[in-house]
Chains A and B, each alone.
Chain A
């Protein structure tokens, strides 16, 4: 039930956003993430964006994982 998926915000109107999930467009509420901006990735749960993606953290985690691959050939 805590299923949530990342989605990209295409456009915002008030606290409503149009989002894209792998080509599927839907409306979602930004009531819980009013700080979200167009182009942001958000975590989508039951019609609400519940968290905005931290891009820097995402990049750092990816770097860490890639480094583990390099160190463990």
Chain B
């Protein structure tokens, strides 16, 4: 068995679980920032294994879910521009905008392609020189370097019909916004594993430093998440908040310096709109002026898109769920007029959306 698969062994879970049960902290509330952690926790049944004193809340760590309604409307309008081929990661397709989704726009004749990698979008641009090929650059720091790499490659190849509509976002500022609001009581944060593989654990050090909140970076096997929870509980018990790394096989304090450098070269950090939060300072990544020819936002046809500001469905509580104010199952529409097949908001669409995870794996009575 390879060293990678060792972490999947169910037998490894017992010891760390017993450790967790033996640490007496009293009631604590921990937020798993990342939507993939929410999915892993629900799928593996960890919530039922943890002591009743340890409550887990979902956070805003789902790039599709936090994409602002106006940006979704803008994407759909973008797809309707004659001559544009829009490339998107699959998660975004079914997210409802104010007037339909990308999937519906595609059914209506827009040229929308689902890609697995930014390299696929480059290939579509190569094969369709008469089309303006626009990649929807949605993602956090895990994905942003792959978007940056595609822009550099397009420049190096002289691929003149490739553009990126960048809605990429960075995570630490939204954690700060969440904590500064004081709206949610949190004793610890399970920090995102794959974002941290790129940026390192260092950018999260303000959380214990300024807010005295315990943190650990976790991987995505159940045992990785339990190890992070154990580390957080030990910090809470000893009153020594820090950022521990429970995923040290892929995460260091510094991250991937090569990827970080590339992001700094290709992107500029700007304020960005987040669903549920509004504007968060220094949290968005747009294409830097040095790469303006690959920036879809500089394209006159795109810059001129008129979007009427529109509110999400009033019954949708995605914003509250993303801030950890509400659990999916407490939303009045959860499973009642909102399901993965017919979603009101993005948290029910994305595989990382908290509502989708709770709907798929978390309902007590099945169904």
Contacts and interface: CB of A to CB of B under 8 A. Distances in A.
User: Is B truly associated with A?
Assistant: yes
B15 A62 contact: no
A69 B143 contact: no
Interface of chain B, main secondary structure: helix
Interface string B250-263: 11100010110010
B3 A65 contact: no
A58 B249 CA distance: 5
Contacts of B16: 65, 68
B4 A48 contact: no
Contacts of B146: 32, 45-48, 50
Interface of chain A, main secondary structure: mixed
Interface residues of A, number: 38
Contacts of B262: 32
A67 B120 contact: no
Nearest to B230: A68
Interface residues of B, number: 56
Q: Which one of B11, B89, B140, B258 has the greatest number of beta carbons of chain A within 10 Å?
A: B258
Interface stretch (B78-86, B189-197, B274-282, B320-328): B189-197
Q: Which one of A48, A59, A67, A68 has the greatest number of beta carbons of chain B within 10 Å?
A: A68
Interface in A1-37: 1-4, 6, 8, 29, 31-35
Nearest to B249: A58
Nearest to B263: A32
A72 B36 contact: no
B149 A31 contact: yes
A46 B227 contact: no
Q: Which one of B64, B153, B259, B262 has the greatest number of beta carbons of chain A within 10 Å?
A: B259
B11 A46 contact: no
A54 B249 contact: yes
Contacts of B118: 46-47
Interface of B: 2-4, 6-7, 11-12, 14-16, 18-19, 34-36, 61-64, 89, 91, 116-120, 138-140, 142-143, 145-146, 149, 153, 192-195, 197-198, 223, 227, 246, 248-252, 256, 258-259, 262, 350-352
11 contacts: A1-B91, A2-B194, A35-B258, A41-B2, A43-B194, A47-B120, A53-B4, A55-B249, A58-B249, A64-B227, A72-B19
Interface of A: 1-4, 6, 8, 29, 31-35, 41, 43, 45-48, 50-51, 53-55, 57-62, 64-72
